[in-house]
Amino acid sequence: MPGKTSIMVFLLAFFVAAPLFAETEKEPAGTIFTLWPFVDYRESPREGFSNLSILGPFIKIQRRGDDRDIAVRPFLYERSNPSDGTDESEYLYPIAASASSPDAKNIQVLDLYQKNVYRKDEDEKKEEGTMLFPFYIKGSSPKYGPYTSVFPFYGDLYERFWRDEYHYVMFPIYGSTVKNGKTTRNYLYPFFSLTSGEKESGFQLWPLYGESEKEGVYSKRFVLWPFFLKESSGLDTDNPTRRFYLLPLYAAIDSPKSTSRYYMWPFFGSKSDTDGKQEERDYFWPFWRTIRGEKRTLDSYLPFYSLDVRAETRKRWIMWPLYKHEEMTSDIFCREKNRFLYFLYTDDRQYWPKAEGEKLRTALWPFFVYTKNPRGIKSVAVPALLEPILDKDGIERNWAPLWRIYQQKWNDRGDSAVSFLWNLYWHERRGSDFAFEIFPFLAYRSEKTSIDLRIIKGLVRFKDEAGTKALSFFWLPVGLNWGKAALNGEAATARSGP
């Protein structure tokens, strides 16, 4: 079929010839080459910046100074800096991530599997830790040395999970913990345990009965947990506290600083500071509450209305969860945030009273997200499928570019950049320089004293460089020129090069 063959040959010649002529041209202010949707390359030597995008948002290779970014969305995003030896990678965010530096390397998968390697000293000694939670944990403690846990069979852990020591054999048959000199041994956890320490002892047969005591520090007891509890704590401080619970009928908490009483806990109750500076009332917790004091005032009539005012913060709910307003005010930082239906609409403003600039973020799910950073750079992106819900850098890097069909950035100086359908249409303006393209029909670029206009990627091309004009056709390296050259006595003629 000669007709189709001719068309294919023409298209092949078009896609090959156009980039060849583009690559041979020297652009002092940078290079822009597009072959949508396959390739988009941009370079600015003055700023040490280059970016290569392949297949729209799916593949990105970017350099900015010493920083390097490589993305194969949504599977991989890697950021590295060869000058300082750092590297960070995200794999199908937030599934897995890794990071490395001259002093440490780590990898994690859903925070359940973790492997960490640290340089311990200048002699290049390494310290390693591995965890596949909760089944396998291996590491080293500066105080106790190496440890290993193979759950539920056997394990020793040191300085992990808010305890100094963990030991167990065939958990839950036997296990023990140590914290601040207090040892608790559990048998058939949580049903039976023994507690021991310096001037400290206790036991429990849960949930029937339990007691523990440390002389001069605390005393605790429960019967038929959680219905009856009695304890005294902080006996060695200036605010010893005594608690008595007979749930759900009655609860009392007394200390030198405050007194609390609850009836049909937790619904009805009151709390009073002994110095009279604050009073709390719960009439049907958590729906109807009031607080009056020097540091805090609260009126809560959920779901209809709630106002919580503290020294530097103010929170207001109206028709929960329809509308929420939050304020934070201090000498160094202020913030105002409004939300409708949690994440459906969010308006967040942050500013620093003693410094210039502010940070803004407005999002309407799933339509758009608008931001302004402290440097005054504004941006808008459409649509916004996850950003209003999850305001995370990982979402911004790995996922958001896949669905953003329109993006725009600009500042108050008039600089701007627009991209539609991953640069099917784009424009950039920086000072007096301006460029745009509607692929493949029209491309235009103006810089200082030069203009470059291309139709069908250079099928017809017009250039004006400081008054010397040129016109060329069919991507040929010959064309017509006139202007200043003609005024200098040169006739309009065919010349080599556009």
Position 443 pLDDT exceeds 70: yes
Residue 498 has pLDDT above 60, yes or no: no
In 36-52, which positions are buried (b, 16+ CB within 10 angstroms) versus exposed (e)?
bbeebbbbbeeeeebeb
- DSSP letter string over 414-430? S-EEEEETTTTEEEEEE
Determine the average pLDDT of the residues in 310-319: 95
Tokens, residue 44? 């600015």
**pLDDT greater at residue 465 or residue 489:** 465
Kindly state the DSSP code that residue 45 receives in the 8-state scheme: G
Distance CA 338, CA 324 (A): 6
pLDDT band at 467 (very low <50, low <70, confident <90, very high): confident
Q: Classify residue 142 by burial, with Cβ atoms within 10 Å: 0-12, 13-18, 19+.
A: exposed
Q: What are the tokens at 265?
A: 């806990």
Please report the pLDDT score of residue 216 as a whole number.
94
Q: What is the pLDDT of residue 124?
A: 59
Average pLDDT (382-393) is: 94
- C-beta atoms surrounding 337 within 10 Å: 16
| CA distance between the termini of the chain | 36
The phi and psi torsions of 344 (rounded to 5 degrees) equal -60, -45
Q: Tokens representing 320? A: 């929960």
Say whether pLDDT at 25 is over 70. no
What is the chain's alpha carbon radius of gyration, rounded to the nearest angstrom? 34
Question: pLDDT band at 485, cuts 50/70/90?
Answer: low
Nearest to 84 by CA among 99, 62, 74, 71: 99
User: Is 36:47 a contact under the CB 8 Å cutoff?
Assistant: no
Note the pLDDT of residue 29: 59
Q: Do 305 and 298 form a contact (C-beta atoms < 8 A)?
A: no
For 92-110, the pLDDT digits (tens) are 999 999 999 998 999 999 9
**SS3 of 190-248:** CCEEEEEECCEEEEEECCCEEEEEECCCEEEEEECCCCEEEEEECCCCCCCEEEEEECC
pLDDT tens for 193-250 read 999 999 999 999 999 999 999 999 999 999 999 999 999 999 999 999 999 999 999 9
**Does the pLDDT of residue 286 top 90, yes or no?**
no
Confidence of residue 121 (pLDDT cuts 50, 70, 90): low
- Would you say 247 and 265 are in contact if contact means Cβ atoms under 8 Å apart? yes
252-278 pLDDT, tens digit each = 999 999 999 999 988 899 999 988 899
Cβ neighbours of 491 (radius 10 Å): 7
CB 57 within 8 A of CB 402: yes
Contact 473, 459 (CB under 8 A): yes
Mean pLDDT of 436-455: 92
pLDDT for the residue numbered 449: 84
Q: Is residue 401 helix, strand or coil?
A: helix
Of 22-26, 117-121, 179-183, 281-285, the poorest mean pLDDT is in 22-26
Distance CA 51, CA 44 (A): 9
SS3 at position 382: strand
How many helices, marked H, and strands, marked E, lie in the chain? 4, 47
Q: Phi, psi (5° rounding) for residue 252?
A: -140, 140
This prediction's pTM: 0.80
Which residue, 344, 409, 352, is CA-closest to 376? 409
* Mean pLDDT, the chain, integer: 88
Residue 496: pLDDT band by 50, 70, 90 thresholds? very low
- Cis omega (within 30 of 0) for bond into 2: no
pLDDT tens-digit profile of 397-433? 999 999 999 999 999 999 999 999 999 999 999 888 8
Mean pLDDT of 361-384: 96
Can you say whether the dihedral through the CA atoms of 318, 380, 371, 376 is positive or negative?
negative
Q: What is the dihedral of CA 187, 188, 193, 198, to 10 degrees?
A: 40
Do the beta carbons of residue 411 and residue 395 sit within 8 Å?
A: no
